[in-house]
Amino acid sequence: MSIQKVQNNKAWFMVMPVLILVAISAIIPLMTVVNYSVQDSFGNNEFFWVGTEWFQEVLASERFHNALLRTLLFSGLILAIEIPLGILIALAMPKRGWGVSVCLVLMALPLLIPWNVVGTIWQVFGRVDIGLLGHGLASLGIDYNYAQDNLDAWLTLILMDVWHWTSLVVLLCYSGLVAIPEVYYQAARIDGASRWAVFRFIQLPKIKRVLLIAVLLRFMDSFMIYTEPFVVTGGGPGNVTTFLSIDLVQMALGQFDLGPAAAMSLIYFLIILLVCWVFYTVMTSFDNDEQSNSGGAQ
């Protein structure tokens, strides 16, 4: 004898709003891009199937390779500077007293400024004729011009990103640091641990999780950076600061090559997904090791 389960499809109406929202915000736009990426058009709204041709073209093109390398280099430099610097600042911040709120507000300020405003600030700041930085360097006799010199352009963009986003790393690390119970530091003093040992064996392990979030966020954001370099350098001089995002916009909106642009954005998306997955797997693998070890010993 079996009990007949009552089927009730009304529940589907409950999830409808979410389905509609997700469809409009994510699924339909993404599918449109997929649709463009496998078709070609000569206007007149006539499309025909080209299969993986655009993907092959993008993957083989030197323009894409260069933009990808530039973007990877930019993200790599950003992470290499912002993560250690963020940890250092978080370590130096006071843990109690009136200094805490002062520091937190100062740290939060750059994060509150809209991207394009940050770009404009640095565009003006670095100008040789009127900018504080550019003019100051020029009057010191240093030949600095981000609009003409490749290295200067890169330095300006990296400095800008460090100024804008190190705070995020600082705030995340700081939240991890203040959560460490005082007794750990006391025990370390009893054990005669050096400052470095305290960092290496207490602080770093305890902030590992927030640090993972910081690395992921900073990688994704810097890999997708568009507004600030677009405002400051516009991808120049030449192509030296043309990152994937700027290249993509030029291709899609400048040249109106919808097929290759769609294929490129899908590849772009998959690269970000892949790199994030690698980061996540590597950084959480330590935990898994430990768990499997203890499982084996029991």
Partner 1 sequence: MASIQLQSLAHRYPLAPDYALCSMQQSWSDGGAYALLGPSGCGKTTLLNIISGLLRPSEGRVLFNDIDVTDLTTEQRNIAQVFQFPVVYDTMTVAENLAFPLRNRGVAKNEIEKRVADALQMLDLEERANDRARSLTADDKQKISLGRGLVRTDVQAILFDEPLTVIDPHLKWQLRTELKKIHQRFQHTMIYVTHDQTEALTFADQVIVMYEGAVVQIGTPQQLFETPEHTFVGKFIGSPGMNVLPCEIDGNEAVFAGKRIPLDRTIDNPTARFELGIRPEHIKLSTGDGMPLTVTALEDVGRHVIVRGEIAGTQVSALVKDGVAIPENPYVSFDSAHINLYADDYRVGSGGGG
- Binding site residues, partner 1, CB under 8 A: 181, 183-184, 186-187, 189-194, 197, 201-202, 205-206, 286, 290-291, 293-294, 297
46 vs 182 by CB, closer to partner 1? 182
Query: Which burial class, exposed, middle or buried, applies to 2 when counting CB atoms under 10 A from its CB (0-12, 13-18, 19+)?
Result: exposed
* 64 contacts 247 by C-beta, under 8 angstroms: yes
How many whole angstroms separate alpha carbon 31 and alpha carbon 160? Answer: 35
19 vs 179 by CB, closer to partner 1? 179
- Nearest distance from C-beta of residue 103 to partner 1, angstroms: 21
What are the C-alpha distances in Å from 53 to residues 57, 259, 262? Answer: 6, 9, 12
- Nearest distance from C-beta of residue 192 to partner 1, angstroms: 4
DSSP H helical segments within 192-257, as ranges? 195-198, 204-223, 227-232, 244-249
Provide the residue type at 248 as one letter: L
61 vs 288 by CB, closer to partner 1? 288
7 vs 294 by CB, closer to partner 1? 294
DSSP letter for each residue of 8-71? -TTHHHHHHHHHHHHIIIIIHHHHHHHHHHTEEE-STT-EEE-TTHHHHHHHH-HHHHHHHHHH
- Nearest distance from C-beta of residue 283 to partner 1, angstroms: 14
Neighbours of 200 (CB within 10 A): 12
143 vs 290 by CB, closer to partner 1? 290
What are the C-alpha distances in Å from 29 to residues 18, 62, 181, 220? Answer: 16, 28, 47, 20
42 vs 196 by CB, closer to partner 1? 196
How many whole angstroms separate alpha carbon 88 and alpha carbon 77? Answer: 17
100 vs 193 by CB, closer to partner 1? 193
